Chains A and B, each alone.
Chain A
Amino acid sequence: MGVAVSRPRSAGRRRRLAPYFLLLPGLAWLFVFYAWPTIQMLFISLQEGSLETGYRLTWHWQTYVDVFSKFDTQLVRSVEYGLLVTLGCLVLSYPLAYFIAVRGGRWKSALLFMIILPFFVSFIIRTLSWKFILADQGFVLATLKGIGLLPEDFRLLATPVAVVSGLVYNFLPFMALPLYASLEKLDKGLLEAAGDLYSNRLVAFAKVTLPLSLPGVFAGSLLTFIPSVGDFINAQLLGSTNTTMIGNVIQREMLINNDYPEGAAISFVLMAAILIGVAAYAKVLGTEELTG
C-alpha cells in the first residue's frame, strides 16, 4: 500500500476507505446478530411443525391471521398501556424538565443526576420494590386503609393501574432527559422578547417554549413508548392474567410453549408496527435528532 511511486493515489484511496474499515467490525456484528436473526425470524414465522417433529418452511401465512385473532386483546392492551405510559411520563416530567432547564441554576447537574439515579439499580429490583410498595398490606395501602381513606379490600397489585404506574416509573427518565435537552437549548432571549412584547407567561409558553421543545417531546415519546409496549416484566410482577401484554405472549410462546413460529410471527408484527411508527417519526424529525 505504501509504494512510493503511487503514494498520492494510494493515500487518497486509503482516506476514502478508512471509514469503511472503521465500520466493518461493528457493523458485521450487527449484521450477523441483529439483521440476520430478524430475517431468520421472518422465515421461522412461516414454518409449520412442532418441537418433536421439527419445523419446515411451508410459507404458512395463516399463522399471522391466527396470531391476530388469538392475541388481539393483548395487542390492543399493549398499545393502550404504551400510550397511557407515554402520556403519563410526559405530564409528569415536563414541569420537572422545565424547572431544571430554566431555573435549575447551579443545582442543574445534581438534579439531573437524581433523575438517572434509578438506572444504577437493577430493573428487576426496582420493579420488585414497587411490588413491595404497592402490596396489599404494604405501608402505603395499610396506612390509607388504617385511617379509613380506602376500603379494606382495596388493592392495587394485579390491576392495570399497578402495571401502568410501574411502567411509568421505569421509563420516566427516558422522557425527562430528552425533554430537558430540548428545553435547555431554548434561547431565553426569546422568552424575554415575548415578555417585552406584552405576551403573558401562558401565551409565551404556548407560542415559544412548547413549539421549541417539540423535538424533545417526540424523542422522549419514542424512547418511552417503544420499551413500554414490548415490556413484560411489569405485567408479570405487578399485574395479573387480565393485564398480560404482547411481550408476555412472545415470552410464553418462545420460552415455555416452544411454539417458535407463533412467537416469531407476533414478534414480527410488534416490530413492524413499531418500525413503521419510528419511520414516520424520523420523516418528521430527521434521524440525526434521534441518533444524536
Chain B
Amino acid sequence: MSQEASGPATAAVADRALGIEGPAPRPARGRRKGWILPAYTALVIAYLVLPIAVMILFGFNDLKGRFNFTWQGFTLRHYRELFRFRELTTALENSLVVAAVTTLIATALGTLIALALTRHRFRGRGSTNLFIFLPMATPEVVLGASLLSLFVTFGTARGLGTVLIAHIMFTISFVVVTVKARTHGFNVEWEEAAKDLGATPWVTFWRVTFPLILPGILAAASLAFALSVDDYVVTAFNSGQTLTFPLWVFGASRFGVPPQVNVMGTIIFLAGVLLALGTVALQRRRS
C-alpha cells in the first residue's frame, strides 16, 4: 500500500514545485451522475425481490388443481383456510416454539461470550475468537451430520429436543458476532464512573452496561430467531420424525405445495420486516 501511495505523494510535491496550485479545472466529477449504475442496482434489487413477489402473489391464487404454477384468479380463500392442513399447522407451531426457545438461550449465552470478548483482556482471547468463528465456517450439512453422529452414538431419540440443541449450537456464534459488532465502540469510562459513584457491579451492569448494549442484543436476538425458524439442513439431520415448517414445505414440494405455505411465508415475511423496521426506528429515536 505504502508503495502505491508514494507515487501520488511524489507527484503532489512535484505539482506544488511547478507552481500548480490546487486542482486544475476538471469535469465536475462528482456531479456527472451516470444512469448505468443506478439502473444496474435497480435490476439486481429486482432480481432479489422477484421470488418474494412470486411467493406473495401466489398466496392469492385461486387454483383448481394441486400445482400452484399458473395464475387462475384472485382469492382470499387461502387466508381464510390458513390452518386447513393439520400437519402444516403443527409444523409451523414446532418451528415457532423452537425458534423462541433458541432465541432466548442462544442470545443469553452468546451475549455473555461477547461481553467477555469486548470488555476483558484475557489469556485465550484469540483462540476463543477463532473457536467462535469455526461453527460459522463449517457447512451446515457437516454441522448436521456430525451432531447426528453424536446422537447415534449415544442412542439419543431425535425430536424437538435434539432440534433445539442443534439450533442453539449454530446460532450462538452469530449472536456473539452481532453483539460484538455493536459493543465495539463501547465506553468503559461510563462503567468506571458508575463504580466511582458507588454502584455495585450488579447495579452498574443493569443501569449502565445493559441499556447501552441492548440494541446489539435485540439485533442478535432477531437474527437468532430468523436463522432458527428458517433452518432446513441441520434440522433435517436431527429431527427424527418431527416436522418443522421448512421440513414440511420441502416434503410437500414433491407433490405440490399448497398456497397456505405462500400465505404463511407472506405473514412471516411481513412480521419480520415490520419488526426490523420497528427496531431501526427505535434505535434512531434513542440516538
Whether A230 contacts B141 by the Cβ 8 Å rule is yes
Q: Find A211's partner among B1, B68, B249 (CB 8 Å cutoff).
A: B1
Report the tally of A-B residue pairs with Cβ distances under 8 A. Answer: 262
Q: Find A114's partner among B45, B55, B130 (CB 8 Å cutoff).
A: B45
Contact (A22, B48) CB under 8 Å given A40-B146, A287-B129:
no
Q: Is B206 an interface residue (CB 8 A)?
A: no
Q: Is A290 an interface residue (CB 8 A)?
A: yes
The size bracket of the interface on A is 35 or more
Among A128, A195, A264, the one with the most B-chain Cβ atoms within 10 Å of its Cβ is A128
Whether A133 contacts B269 by the Cβ 8 Å rule is no
Whether B113 contacts A34 by the Cβ 8 Å rule is no
Q: Which residues of A contact B138 (CB under 8 A)?
A: 34, 226, 271, 274-275
Q: Which residues of A contact B142 (CB under 8 A)?
A: 230, 250, 267, 270-271
Q: Is B139 an interface residue (CB 8 A)?
A: yes
Q: Is B96 an interface residue (CB 8 A)?
A: no
Q: Which residues of B contact A23 (CB under 8 A)?
A: 112-113, 116, 128
Contact (A291, B177) CB under 8 Å given A23-B113, A96-B41:
yes
Taking the closest CB of chain B, its distance from the CB of A102, in whole angstroms, is 9
Q: Is A79 an interface residue (CB 8 A)?
A: no
Whether A33 contacts B150 by the Cβ 8 Å rule is yes
Stretch at the interface among A61-69, A117-125, A152-160: A117-125
Q: Is A76 an interface residue (CB 8 A)?
A: no
Taking the closest CB of chain A, its distance from the CB of B124, in whole angstroms, is 8
Tell me whether chain A's interface is mostly helix, strand or loop, or mixed. helix
Whether A132 contacts B44 by the Cβ 8 Å rule is no
Taking the closest CB of chain A, its distance from the CB of B250, in whole angstroms, is 5
Binary CB contact string for chain B from 23 to 62 against chain A (1 if under 8 A, 0 otherwise) = 1101001000100011011001101111110110010000
Considering the complex, give the chain B residue whose CB is closest to the CB of A14: B201
Q: Which residues of B contact A207 (CB under 8 A)?
A: 4
Whether B233 contacts A233 by the Cβ 8 Å rule is yes
Question: Knowing that A22-B120, A26-B113, A103-B37 are A-B contacts, what are 13 other residue pairs whose CB atoms are under 8 Å apart, sorted by A's residue number?
Answer: A19-B120, A26-B112, A41-B149, A44-B152, A115-B45, A117-B273, A120-B226, A123-B232, A123-B246, A137-B70, A169-B48, A195-B23, A287-B126
Residues of A whose CB lies within 8 Å of any CB of B are 16, 18-20, 22-23, 25-27, 29-30, 33-38, 40-41, 44, 92-93, 95-96, 98-100, 103, 109, 111, 113-115, 117-126, 128-133, 135, 137-138, 169, 172-173, 193-199, 201, 207, 211, 222, 226-227, 229-233, 237, 247, 250-251, 254-255, 260, 263-264, 267, 270-271, 274-275, 278, 282, 287-288, 290-292
